Structure 1
Amino acid sequence: MANALVVIPTYNEIENIEKIVRTVFALQRDFAILVVDDNSPDGTSVLVSQLQSEFPSRLHLLSRKGKMGLGTAYIAGFKWAMEETYEYIFEMDADFSHNPNDLIRLYNTCHKEGFDMAIGSRYITGVNVVNWPMNRVLMSWGASKYVQWVTGMDIHDTTAGFVCYKRQVLEHINLDTIRFIGYAFQIEMKFKTYLSAFKIKEVPVVFTDRTKGTSKMSSGIISEAIFGVLKMKMKSIFNRLEI
């Protein structure tokens, strides 16, 4: 049985899901996959169910009743993983913006180098983003710098969604206290990992914007990140942030 699980949240990813599953399973390292699908109307979960007959011990599906937010999808996936025996749990998008080949590099950072969290970082060695318009690059880079300044974390890509956790990190953090449901979820998880003194390393990766399907970014997600981070930092200063 694989000791590493890749959690992939999906909503209308039927154009990408089969290819991403087959690509991960073709890697040299043995990974399992948990697809957390938010009742995609395009039939994403139906296709995953069909693929399970081909990969019965490696491909898993958690179907939810509706679109409930990226953060809650990952929390559901993490809780599912904690009920199993996986030692390394990953976050990865379904749309190939994260290169599946980099899963092995993140795994080795935790497994061989002894880090507790490995972050696939777009900004540790400059700006490694492909196919994004300049305004979105600047917004993303600026958001990470803003979060870095507010929180004091020595992390260049604070909003990265390509992450490997050692099991003990997710066991330590009370997942029921995670408040952000959009992309700011990524910030909250890193901040609580940082405050808990776990060892974190950024691994340089190239982020390539999706070529199929549609982005889930919205102004509400951005607002959550900007104002939520300030509130989170203030709570930590007065020891009111639950970890």
Structure 2
Amino acid sequence: MIDWTYSEGVYELTLATPPCNEIGTTMLADLRRFLDQIDRDAHTLILRSGLRQGFCAGADLRELYRGLCDAPKEQHGPQIRQFIDAIHGVMDDLDTLPLTTVGVVHGVCFGGGFELALTCDVLIAEKTARFCFPELRLGIIPGFGGIPRLRRDVGNGLIRDLLLSGRSINAKKAQAAGLVSQVVAGGEGITAARALAAQTAKFDPTARKAAKAFIKKLPADELLAERELFVRLAEGPALMAALKRFVESTDLRPYLP
């Protein structure tokens, strides 16, 4: 589901799960294992996708639908809560790593994939990147911590537009809004990320870690409130109906708005 390398203080973590790195229980477990063994004395983590289609299309909706179909209705809430609690644990750990985390985004960066990218300290977008929160079409809100993390970085006008319209924005608009720090040509994101890692390596480790902790607070109260609202909405009938339409779709890319 994922692959990683380590060299001279730099981890490169590559998402590698067709069709577009959907986040399900297996990827979640792989990310958890990676985080449990990462050397916190390293200085940089680069997170990227190895797939042509994009960074990540979001949660594995097909797996979610199968799991809910196989469980009694009274177990839907506890089952969803268990997964959401686990994913928040992984996302929060990524968010607060004492390394500089650099996300390299190309193509699709939707839903849970967008939320994963938002755990990074710095985002580098290739020109093909598109960012989107399509969750309202499923009768839910982003549930992996996306809104509180995005609120740290951009204004409420863009957040409301993304959430309430379900429209996507391109790399240029994302940079103008302050979401991404660099926009580069296709295929050049990893080069830019490695250059940033080389710069990070020059700094005193204590100062670097202190600076990150100071400028990037975890919005814990908002994350908890989002999680509770997500579970409440997910227990309603709208989610199952929307998931059924999704899995039965003949669209090659049904996650697109």
TM range (shorter): under 0.3
TM-score normalised by L of structure 2: 0.26
Q: Whose helix fraction is larger, Structure 1's or Structure 2's?
A: 2
TM-score by length of 1: 0.27
